[in-house]
Structure 1
């Protein structure tokens, strides 16, 4: 193989907006791949033009597996390494076989038009994700840029803002940025009534609504449940003990309502969770809770542990909140990645004894938490104790 994949970022301004390096590459190209819209932006030449067929991902995979003897040129929108095809190509064939010539990203152009600081702007995408996932980033005072899937996305986002108490947020839809047909439509979410416009757009949101935190400890009534719920104070301690981090995978065994898994995903926007739950009704409730909190796209549910653990991807962290047994601990400990963390909570004496035994063998920390909450007693107030929880936290050497 001697050929490379040359990825050229092109904006809505087409050939006129390209630099000399990009023009030279496309001028010498023998084969150029791109969408119909992108291919129309470059002048006619000797190169063979190949428009992506649907689904594009499958067509791209065929091209990347073709082992070319000569360079293959691929057009991408704006900056190919910003939510673009360039990232997919590099991950597939390796950086040494890819030459990227970036254009200006849609986010940079949008911030330039709006006068926003790009470094202080949260950027989301609905190109490969559901619009509902935007809800996880909503909080008062935050500026968001949302890459749209098509012309229907702005209205869907306005509806999402209204449904989540952010109806007074200002919305701007920026279409065909940098091109001759550039257009900016502004409004407020609660009165948004603009008809669908150009499919090539980005939605800017200045959030006005409730202040939301991603720190663990949501109120218990934030989750639908049947009593199988890690209560707020212990949940906050548990998620903190799990220490969610970038691109980690959590196993949540005996997930119940999914409260710990959901709080983990809210705290780690790039994290993923595999939940293990044997009860079908609880599984449905768990998934519903995950959709409510806009994290369902990063959560999958399997059956009963330890049987369902056998072919699950190895976790960076494990939480065991239900179904605790020696077999479950053994399966989780075996699958856990080196330097991964396991956190287990126990209420019954039998399970607390089991954790004490594992603590004696593997170390870590063993703590007993007792929580008391003020509650009415007749016309007075008293402390109502919850059942004490023993929590074992250990890192796998």
Structure 2
């Protein structure tokens, strides 16, 4: 296919770049030398510069052997659009007009709407005060009818030699002439208005591409009345609704999709999947200025943006045009959407922070594999930004995400680490601080960062008590630091027996506890049942080792249940959760275990083992027995239950030496049988 674009606008340049990327031969016709300079000719792109009559347009279309004409000229270029449409009608050539979306503003009562520049001049003729003109160099001659226009008017035009020469010849010069390329920010517009002392600001409804919203806000901030030359009716998208004729008007997005469908249309009418691209983009902590140049370029090139509402809003702050969006954060839903919409060739899925740290991007590639080429575009992660504010480097703190999941931070603090935690929910920091106080960690220093990178960014410091009962922003990062030196963690099990409160409750003694834990072969992320927890000694030692896992201490007796809680608090075993009840019934609602220690079974050992193996038939189980009746049950399990065949049985008897006057006597503990089976040794 061969394409002709009548351009000179942002839309024209985007379509030209799209055509080149799709290897579609295209000639772009622009009226000014400046417009031609913005386009780079290559093997697929030819630029024609100069105004064309209807007949000259017809000749250009014929000589190029055009198969499609796209009119992407300015919304106010009525004559060019009229001539292009007529030329295409004569040649029976498909014609598409690119309509620029009008932008809603809140200019309010300070906005005066007129149908033409002539009407604007008539209105200004009856006023006093200086005028700032931003309607283009072609309209400047009409303003010369104003009384004392050389002193009243300041004109802003494109920086082309042709435009400047024309403005100067009409009498606009010196400080009353500004030659600059837009669009312009609100701040720059406001500064220009104030510098010129403007009471009136005349502009066209140029849409987002022309920075219309920024002009409106600047006029209000500078105290200037905004005079808007409204678009011709034919250029208003809402006027085109309901047409039954063949569609001749499109948005820029629709036009890009049309080019794709023409260039890549397969036998089944879809874009070949091997040519489809999905970018997983890290949007950083929030501020648009922190996005990389690559991220901005990729966002501009994609046909559709996908992500949460907040991410999409941030993306549109840096784009020259609104893009079609799909609001979703669910991987399966996103993958299904992309596969259903086969015309989409380039899509961006947006994530907060960086796609490499605690990101929803994890697993997305697997879902899209085979159907799309997937690329990751990294962003600045919130922890990196936060720690840099505090003068810390990334390796100085353990990074933890608590977004949508529970994480134990206390074990890391007890190992002497600084912890940088991403928190989710307004009360999560308060709840964490309550836990710190409960486990005797009131000395921890808290630095909380809220709304990072946004104008309302806030950094607060204090102790846990300072944050209890206080709400924070739902997107908060906290740095936790202990002021005490050293660590509370032991590298090996074997807490002294006298470090546990016991009363009259049975307790697994130190040496038996060490052997039992060794036979359990715990991992850092183990899910452990301590059934019949008693004083809690085994469960607490397990919790202090399995810092990334959970220990469920099941106990039916009130006194023993209370002692387990007391000892857990004393030893700061924050990942030990107590369950009041009797096994196996108390196990029903618990997650499947990876490791189980049974210290007491109340005569229901076989039922308990069966219940555990139903939850996870590969669980590692260790049982302590002190009676021959319990040993008999263990032997029966080993003989009759195939899943217990690998049971290892050993008897342990501990004898201590006791001083009595000048003598040393031996004192023996009762022998204990340790059974271990299942899982891994």
The answer, yes or no, to whether TM exceeds 0.5 is yes
For 1:204 and 1:259, the matched residues in 2 are separated by 31
Partner of 2:350: 75
| Cα offset, 1:351, TM superposition | 1.9
Please say if residues 316 and 322 of structure 2, whose CA atoms lie closer than 8 Å, have aligned partners that are also in contact. no
- Of 18, 35, 57, the residue aligned with 2:291 is 18
- 1:333-352 residue pairs with structure 2 within 5 A? 341-352=620-631
Residue 216 in structure 1 maps to residue 496 in structure 2: no
Partner of 2:479: 204
For 1:186 and 1:258, the matched residues in 2 are separated by 36
* Deviations, residues 139-185 of structure 1 (Å, cap 9, x unaligned): 27421112122454445545544443333333322334455554433
- 1:1-397 residue pairs with structure 2 within 5 A? 2=273, 6-12=279-285, 14-27=287-300, 28-36=302-310, 39-43=313-317, 44=319, 45-51=321-327, 62-66=333-337, 67-69=339-341, 70=344, 73-87=348-362, 89=364, 93=367, 99-129=375-405, 133-139=408-414, 141-150=416-425, 152-178=427-453, 181-189=456-464, 198-209=473-484, 211-213=487-489, 215-218=492-495, 227=505, 229-255=507-533, 259-272=537-550, 293-295=573-575, 304-305=583-584, 315-323=593-601, 325-326=605-606, 328-329=608-609, 341-355=620-634, 362=645, 365-371=648-654, 385-394=668-677
For 2:501 and 2:331, the matched residues in 1 are separated by 41
Unaligned runs of at least 5 residues, structure 2: 1-269
Give the TM-score normalised by structure 2.
Answer: 0.46
| Cα offset, 1:195, TM superposition | 6.9
For 1:302 and 1:80, the matched residues in 2 are separated by 43
For 1:198 and 1:309, the matched residues in 2 are separated by 37
Please say if residues 141 and 208 of structure 1, whose CA atoms lie closer than 8 Å, have aligned partners that are also in contact. no
Q: SS of 1:293's equivalent?
A: coil
Q: SS of 1:123's equivalent?
A: strand
| Cα offset, 1:76, TM superposition | 1.5
Please say if residues 124 and 146 of structure 1, whose CA atoms lie closer than 8 Å, have aligned partners that are also in contact. yes
Partner of 2:80: none
CA RMSD in angstroms comes to 4.7
| Cα offset, 1:79, TM superposition | 1.5
Unaligned runs of at least 5 residues, structure 1: none
| Cα offset, 1:21, TM superposition | 3.7
* Deviations, residues 200-258 of structure 1 (Å, cap 9, x unaligned): 33111221247321643456665789725434443333222211125444454445566
Please say if residues 363 and 394 of structure 1, whose CA atoms lie closer than 8 Å, have aligned partners that are also in contact. yes
Please say if residues 444 and 481 of structure 2, whose CA atoms lie closer than 8 Å, have aligned partners that are also in contact. yes
Please say if residues 9 and 77 of structure 1, whose CA atoms lie closer than 8 Å, have aligned partners that are also in contact. yes
Please say if residues 359 and 365 of structure 1, whose CA atoms lie closer than 8 Å, have aligned partners that are also in contact. no
